[in-house]
Structure 1
Amino acid sequence: MMDIEQIKGIRRALHQNPELGGEEWETSKRIQQELEKAGIPFKTGFAKTGVLGIIEGGAAGGTVALRADIDALPISEKTAVDFKSKTAGKMHACGHDAHTAMLLGTAFKLKEMQDQLTGRVLLVFQPNEESTPIGGARPMMEDGVFDEFKPDVIFGQHVWPDLPVGQIGIRDKEMMAASDRLIFTIKGAGGHASMPHQGKDAIVIAAEFISSLQSIVSRNVNPLESAVLTLGTISGGYRYNVIADRVELNGTVRTYSSKAKETVKRRIDSLVKGFAEAFETEIDYEYIEGYDATVNTPEWAELIRGRAVETLGAEAVPAVDPSMAGEDFSRFLAEYPGAFYWLGCAREGEEKSKPLHDPEFYFNEDALEIGINTMVDVTVNALEKLKK
């Protein structure tokens, strides 16, 4: 029998020993050990550390894939839990330790009812989710994770501190945004601060360029569509009395629709060319395509919603807005039907929980059993639906 205390122990062990994307060797080894103990066959070697568990039902039928990401973040933990990270500068600040533990718990329960299942369940433990634009989903597929068994549907769940324990967030279409990177290098000409006419001040150019970039969303993107353009870093200059000859800007673009993305890309290109000409300077830039938008298949989103209402109650499935955060699960959904949903995990008694990727992010372990039961229930009902 699946023991929730066992799952809690697995989650805490993973939390104490976080590994960054592409380095999840010990995490992968622990997953394999747990699957082996449960008598669940598995394959390895996908995107280096990825694992595919396989549960064959008692009768032929459809194939349901379930995905959990396994990597941590380069963040120094600031929580007060007894099982905090043992590795300086690394933390499971996005809940992937819980995702991994819950998929193992789901696997244990499905293994117990294996003979009653009609079809096949694929357990996808994905590395490197946090490493946009590379990610782990596409490399896993390129390495043949679904070569032998192709899923008819794939599901993923993500812990969500904006929702209380006991609630599920699900939308019929957009759940998460496309996530792209921006890198600009403005090349001016240096000089003495007292003689600015002899140089080309990269800081002044950057200041005006930043303001113009911010007008793209407000004045070029259709107001009925969503887009965010954020510059997160700016660096340049040497000394208070020296004209800066170089400034670098780094940022991100988030969109849901390809039309909005193309509008942003086109206007960025126009602005770069216009500023370079107007200031008689050179501006290099890269627009790095990251994860696509995570867009659910409506019929499978409705199945999740229906099962959550049935098992947790109508109040447990509130209307939710999509998130502008990116998610590598989008690459699975680009190939296969499926749905991605959020699992409430807010800390009880807190008016506003710390967000994902925060060094004080706290996962409420009361959500573990709900997450496992939801994924099991969704899987069983998806297999039943695929029979028809």
Structure 2
Amino acid sequence: MCMFIGLGESIKEETIAFRRELHENPELSHEESRTSRRVQEELDKAGIPFQTGFAEHGVLGIISGAHPGKTIALRADMDALPIVEQNEHDFVSKTKGAMHACGHDAHTAMLLGAGKLLYANRESLSGTILLVFQPAEENAPVGGAQAMMDDGVFADYIPDEIYAQHVWPDLPVGSFGVRPGAMMGNSDRFEIRVTGASGHASMPHQTTDAVVIAAQLVNALQTIVSRSTDPLKSAVVTVGTINGGSRYNVIAEEVVLEGTVRTYDADVKDSIKKRMEAIATQTADMLGGKAELTYHDGYPATRNTEESAALVAEAVRDAYGEEAQPEILPSMGGEDFGRFLETYPGAYYWLGTAIPSRTVQKPLHDPQFDIDERAIPYGVEMLAETAYRAAKGGNA
């Protein structure tokens, strides 16, 4: 029996309206003061008790069920991205240089909607449901999840399990992506600072060209995946920026490469770090220069526990049928929710939001990213249904 399926329609319009309000007023990581205030106002209006002050703008809603059970946390992220929106709907961003290009506006609105349904039906609930509204998810590699935990978000209520969902433009509305194990990858950053010796472009023999060293490094770094990593294990090494030189006729003294490393397995990640260090220093030394690697460990891989992923999958099939839970592959994208899952068992799943009128879906972080808002009731219902089942111990 599904407790909350069908109830999302009852609050569809108000949930969409709140999502659009947030979309018009995006706030970047660590700047979510208005968003946090509006979440608090809506929780207060609904009668849901809450605590604040976690990672500065984080909010924790607390719903106590009438029956004994587990403590289940549901998390939504609140921050936007420094992207100029290029959509044409009537609720585009009013904040210069900021946009909800990753769906966090929808995440926050749907968690609030699920909280309203759960609170309205608290006499039928078991245990305690925690509504975690997280800031700074986009602030990789630091994020906001660890800061919330460090600030005691779970000091009074320790989750037995934690769940989150993310809008996903590659899946149609009415479908959900969930699997045990890895859902998202380790998301690390690196910087390689190459140092040579400057001089006139006509006299290269008197210099050490940092641009030439950097060019060799870009090619050499690609061999880490193609020749130093088990082909049955996934990894991506990307050089995203190259900055150096001061003038067309001056040989550059310094070039800085920045990029990202994506993996699923810790052993692959460690191997890549060591290989990257060796390639950088030895290539530069071979060409007469120096290279210094700075490696920033980012978000850990988002790994679902088998039992929690199975609970979500069963809820989806019970509610919407087998076709609503297609087989999926994990993504190499990073997600701060992985830090919660390092401490607490749980699951992270995708909510289908593809827009049928688009022949090519705009991906997350694109200036034209948007969602089909018909997905919002599905997201509200599945959050509530997941929490309801998990708090009862998995028995629907």
Deviations 1:316-366 (A, max 9, x none): 111111001000000000000000000000112222210000000011110
1:74/1:91 contact within 8 Å kept: yes
Letter in structure 2 aligned against 1:131: N
Listed as ranges, the gaps of 5+ residues in structure 1 are none
Deviations 1:62-105 (A, max 9, x none): 10100000000000000001000001100000000000000000
Alpha-carbon separation, structure 2, partners of 1:361 and 1:272: 37
Superposed displacement of residue 183, structure 1: 0.6
Letter in structure 2 aligned against 1:353: Q
Name 1:212's counterpart in structure 2: 220
Q: What TM-score do the two structures reach when normalised by structure 2?
A: 0.96
Letter in structure 2 aligned against 1:300: S
Name 2:3's counterpart in structure 1: none
Superposed displacement of residue 273, structure 1: 2.2
Name 2:97's counterpart in structure 1: 89
Name 2:183's counterpart in structure 1: 175
Name 2:48's counterpart in structure 1: 40
Name 2:316's counterpart in structure 1: 308
Alpha-carbon separation, structure 2, partners of 1:264 and 1:20: 31
Superposed displacement of residue 33, structure 1: 0.3
Alpha-carbon separation, structure 2, partners of 1:123 and 1:165: 24
1:63/1:152 contact within 8 Å kept: yes
Alpha-carbon separation, structure 2, partners of 1:101 and 1:386: 25
Match of 1:121 among 117, 125, 129: 129
After TM superposition, which residue ranges in structure 1, 4 or more long, deviate above 4 angstroms? none
Superposed displacement of residue 386, structure 1: 5.8
Letter in structure 1 aligned against 2:155: D
Name 2:325's counterpart in structure 1: 317
Asked if residue 241 in structure 1 is aligned to residue 260 in structure 2, the reply is no
2:185/2:331 contact within 8 Å kept: yes
Deviations 1:240-259 (A, max 9, x none): 22211111111000000001
Asked if residue 11 in structure 1 is aligned to residue 19 in structure 2, the reply is yes
Structure 2 SS opposite 1:319: coil
Alpha-carbon separation, structure 1, partners of 2:280 and 2:257: 13
1:162/1:352 contact within 8 Å kept: no
Letter in structure 2 aligned against 1:264: I
Name 1:292's counterpart in structure 2: 300
Deviations 1:132-162 (A, max 9, x none): 1110000000000001110000000000001
Letter in structure 2 aligned against 1:91: M
Name 2:29's counterpart in structure 1: 21
Alpha-carbon separation, structure 1, partners of 2:305 and 2:261: 24
Q: What TM-score do the two structures reach when normalised by structure 1?
A: 0.98
Listed as ranges, the gaps of 5+ residues in structure 2 are 1-6
Alpha-carbon separation, structure 2, partners of 1:126 and 1:385: 25
Q: How many residues align?
A: 388
2:51/2:60 contact within 8 Å kept: yes
Structure 1 SS opposite 2:393: helix
Q: Percent identity?
A: 53
Asked if residue 360 in structure 1 is aligned to residue 368 in structure 2, the reply is yes
Q: What is the 5 A alignment of 1:210-289?
A: 210-289=218-297
Alpha-carbon separation, structure 1, partners of 2:362 and 2:374: 17
Alpha-carbon separation, structure 1, partners of 2:334 and 2:284: 31
Stretch of structure 1 that moved more, 150-159 or 376-385: 376-385
Alpha-carbon separation, structure 1, partners of 2:332 and 2:69: 36
Alpha-carbon separation, structure 1, partners of 2:157 and 2:149: 11
Deviations 1:291-325 (A, max 9, x none): 00000001110111111111111111111110010
Alpha-carbon separation, structure 1, partners of 2:248 and 2:75: 52
Structure 1 SS opposite 2:84: coil
Match of 1:197 among 190, 195, 205: 205
Structure 1 SS opposite 2:358: coil
Deviations 1:101-129 (A, max 9, x none): 00000000001110111110000000000
Asked if residue 147 in structure 1 is aligned to residue 184 in structure 2, the reply is no
Alpha-carbon separation, structure 2, partners of 1:273 and 1:104: 50
1:62/1:386 contact within 8 Å kept: no
Asked if residue 98 in structure 1 is aligned to residue 79 in structure 2, the reply is no
Letter in structure 1 aligned against 2:89: V
Alpha-carbon separation, structure 1, partners of 2:129 and 2:17: 24
Structure 2 SS opposite 1:28: helix
Structure 2 SS opposite 1:362: coil
Superposed displacement of residue 17, structure 1: 0.3
Alpha-carbon separation, structure 2, partners of 1:63 and 1:272: 48
Asked if residue 156 in structure 1 is aligned to residue 183 in structure 2, the reply is no
How large is the RMSD of aligned CA atoms in angstroms? 1.2
1:69/1:125 contact within 8 Å kept: yes
1:61/1:386 contact within 8 Å kept: no
